[in-house]
Amino acid sequence: MKKEARAAFNKLKKLGCPVRESKPNYPDRGHFWIDAETPEADEWLDYWSTDLFMGSDKLNDILSQHGLYWEWYNSAYGCVYDD
């Protein structure tokens, strides 16, 4: 994982965001992914919510500060990529 991605991953994890490391054999899942099926995801992203479908401001701000963005892979998780 690149330095900026690792920094964002660690910051989000410390704040309680359900981040998970992507395995090297799944490069299409980006640097890391966010598990939307856990209760902790409720303040970060929610595929079925009109308020959180695009992610929380906090999530997007942290990723943007590190030159990253996220998008839905499916309704269960979002993947983080270079901007």
What angle, rounded to 10 degrees, do the helices at 3-14 and 57-65 form? 150
pLDDT, one tens digit per residue, over 30-78 is 999 999 999 999 999 999 999 999 999 999 999 999 999 999 999 999 9
| Predicted structure pTM score | 0.92
CB atoms within 10 A of CB 36: 22
Higher pLDDT, 8 or 28: 8
Residue type, 27: P
Residues 61, 70 contacting (CB under 8 angstroms): no
Tell me the three state secondary structure of residue 8: helix
